[in-house]
Structure 1
């Protein structure tokens, strides 16, 4: 049970970081062009 919760949190963190990175890249790309 605890492992499932830890895995779920880990996945959420990874998805959040990935989404944040995409937003940052988009903003930088728009700023350059």
Structure 2
């Protein structure tokens, strides 16, 4: 994998973690 690919993978991992927390936050707001 290229260095760009590795950086992109880290970004996707970070977005995935943030996205899950954000979805939980939205679900709590809607209750």
- TM normalised by structure 1 equals 0.67
Larger Rg: 1
In structure 2, the partner of 1:29 is 27
Show structure 1 runs of 5+ residues with no match. none
**Cα deviation code 1:1-33 (max 9, x no counterpart):** xx2x21110100111111111111000101111
Q: How do 1:1-33 residues align onto structure 2 when only pairs under 5 Å count?
A: 3=2, 5-33=3-31
Show structure 2 runs of 5+ residues with no match. none
CA RMSD of aligned residues (A): 1.0
